[in-house]
Amino acid sequence: MQKDAWDSRLGIILAVTGSAVGLGNFLRFPGLAAKYGGGTFMIPYFIAFLLLGLPIAYIEWSIARYGGSRGYHSAPGIFRAIWPHKISPYLGVVGLIVPIGIYMYYVFIEAWCLYYAWGFLSGALNLGRDVTAYKSFFESFTGAGENGALFVEFSPALISLVVCYALNFLFVYRGIAGIERISRWGMPVLLLLALVVLARVMTLGTPNPALPERNVLNGLGHLWNPPMQQGLIESLANAQLWMEAAGQIFFSLSVGFGVIINYASYLNKKDDIMLSATTAAAGNEFAEVALGGLITVPAAFVFLGAAGIGSTFGLGFVSLPAVFAHMPFGQIFGALWFFLLFIAAITSSVSMLQPGIAFLEEGLNLNRRKSSAVLLLITLGGSLFVAYYSKNLEALDTMDFWAGTFFIFVLALFQVFVAGWLFGVENVLKEAAEGSRIRIPKFLPVVIKYICPAFLITIFGLWCWQKFPEQWAKIQGNTVTQLTILFLVGALVLFLAFTYLAVAYWQKYRSHHHPHGAEP
């Protein structure tokens, strides 16, 4: 059915790295690290990377290529290939809801980055050194003051959103070739810009002699050292910390996203998926820890102090613009920084569209134009929903938690259970070994079959015990939260219906074309 293919190993590595390296690396990771006291956060972060991120990445690359060799390029189809049970494609629907659900709000943040880059370049964001001026602008620009505020009059945020939609669908409409093209030029440009901005931040020294404690070294210490006011063991007992650390690993590696399952399904048996998976993960970790972690928090600390760092959005769109206003040539560095964020965002957002389009093509037998149009209508509805219910960014935050954390955990658990126990860990590693130049560690089967599911279930169970009552109270007391969850449930039901039609189509296709063999 699907004739797409990668031009080279470098193409897919850059594409997967482009999908993984996004706003999560440069905004979400530093924000979480600062929130939980850097050194404390890094303990569950690296444990999750080694025991969840890498093993599940190997699972995804392996089952994806296995499913792709049987004609499937979407999570429902690949789940059906590795576990021929009537329920399996419906479990795979989560692999569509995660990237589509995240895309609907992620592209809105991407639009902010595009406008901020233009604002710094044109001088429209030269608001002086006062943080409150940037805070007021951000609230007005995003409509955070009132629901529907962006639809009352001309909105630069909505104009930027339209531009981002046009660019995303332009690239994804061209298929794998379009995604590979944007990744081939986007990733080197992103790396160059990040290194330029990093060099500037690392040479800030102590810009205000009257406040000698505000220097780069102390800024790095604020990011990486555990907080002194709370014990390490007490901090690590917080289930939310472990869930967010693991969620950040999933988010930043594109693991549990449904993206790698699609991308790696276009590989052949000669491709070294172990090397490709490891290289993509290493590239992402470099971008996240060595670039994202060293730019944002130290820069904000040097000029604004610990109190001025703020949350993820506060750090990225309030604190840092004020920081650039303090810098010599800050207008230029501000434009470079937000253009870097835009490139990171668009290489990720394009990847979120591909799994849904591939499913509509192979499951409903739609051509590229029709499948792109269907997904455009669905995602645009979600993005406008997020833009309309903008007060305190409630809809965005709710969608981020349920699509960007909760459902990622669910998909990761499904993948580990189906691949490790039903398809069989020996079959996963047999697929991974084909074409591999890397020796598979002897402990990997134990990690995949026992440690990964135990780790996921433990974190998820502790979170439900500690934090679910709080989430439930929020659902009961907040109308926008209720509407956002209903929207996501509606999207889930829609794709379950599409999957029902897809299964019927695959069965019909098999009976006509492969009555005694694999399908389709």
H helix or E strand, kind and range, residue 27? none
Do the beta carbons of residue 206 and residue 212 sit within 8 Å?
yes
Across 3-12, 25-34, 115-124, 288-297, the highest mean pLDDT is recorded for 115-124
Taking residues 151-170, report their average pLDDT: 96
pLDDT at 515 over 60: no
C-alpha distance from residue 390 to each of 24, 108, 398, 406 (Å): 21, 11, 11, 21
Two tokens at 7?
């031009």
The reported pLDDT for the residue numbered 2 is 44
**Closest of 318, 275, 204, 236 to residue 440, by C-alpha:** 275
Two tokens at 173?
């409409």
Taking residues 40-51, report their average pLDDT: 92
**Closest of 415, 73, 80, 422 to residue 257, by C-alpha:** 415
Q: How far apart are CA 290 and CA 64, in angstroms?
A: 30
The reported pLDDT for the residue numbered 10 is 85
Two tokens at 126?
């030269």
pLDDT at 448 over 70: yes
| Residue count (the chain) | 520
Do the beta carbons of residue 108 and residue 165 sit within 8 Å?
no
Q: How confident is the model at residue 310 (pLDDT cuts 50, 70, 90)?
A: low
The reported pLDDT for the residue numbered 60 is 97
Q: How far apart are CA 267 and CA 271, in angstroms?
A: 6
pLDDT at 333 over 50: yes
The reported pLDDT for the residue numbered 11 is 87
pLDDT at 231 over 80: no
Q: What is the mean pLDDT of the chain?
A: 91
Burial of 286 from C-beta contacts in 10 A (0-12 / 13-18 / 19+): middle
Two tokens at 54?
């890498």
Q: How far apart are CA 460 and CA 60, in angstroms?
A: 21
> What does the radius of gyration of the chain's CA atoms come to, in whole angstroms?
22
Taking residues 277-294, report their average pLDDT: 91
CB-CB neighbours of 237 under 10 Å: 12
CB-CB neighbours of 192 under 10 Å: 12
Do the beta carbons of residue 360 and residue 367 sit within 8 Å?
no
pLDDT at 50 over 90: yes
Helix H segments across 365-451? Answer: 368-388, 394-401, 407-417, 425-433, 444-446
Taking residues 421-446, report their average pLDDT: 94
Phi–psi pair at 5, nearest 5 degrees: -160, 155
Two tokens at 208?
């205000």
pLDDT at 366 over 50: yes
Its pTM surpasses 0.85: yes
Spatial neighbors of 93 by CB under 8 A, at least 6 apart, are: 75, 76, 492, 495, 496, 499
Q: For 174-198, how does the pLDDT look when each residue is reduced to its tens digit (9 = 90+)? A: 889 889 999 999 999 999 999 999 9
Min mean pLDDT across 63-67, 152-156, 449-453 is at: 152-156
Higher-scoring residue by pLDDT: 169, 471: 169
C-alpha distance from residue 69 to each of 66, 145, 267, 435, 514 (Å): 5, 51, 8, 14, 14
CB-CB neighbours of 148 under 10 Å: 12
The reported pLDDT for the residue numbered 1 is 44
Q: How confident is the model at residue 207 (pLDDT cuts 50, 70, 90)?
A: confident
The reported pLDDT for the residue numbered 80 is 96
The reported pLDDT for the residue numbered 513 is 65
Q: For 74-119, how does the pLDDT look when each residue is reduced to its tens digit (9 = 90+)? A: 999 999 999 999 999 999 999 999 999 999 999 999 999 999 999 9
Q: How far apart are CA 438 and CA 218, in angstroms?
A: 40
pLDDT at 399 over 90: yes
The reported pLDDT for the residue numbered 314 is 84
Q: For 112-154, how does the pLDDT look when each residue is reduced to its tens digit (9 = 90+)? A: 999 999 999 999 999 998 889 999 999 999 999 999 999 998 8
The reported pLDDT for the residue numbered 519 is 56
Q: How far apart are CA 505 and CA 362, in angstroms?
A: 9
Taking residues 371-394, report their average pLDDT: 97
SS3 state at 84: coil
In the numeric block, the tokens 């349920």 are attached to 402
Percent of the chain residues topping a pLDDT of 90? 67
Q: How far apart are CA 254 and CA 241, in angstroms?
A: 19
CB-CB neighbours of 273 under 10 Å: 27
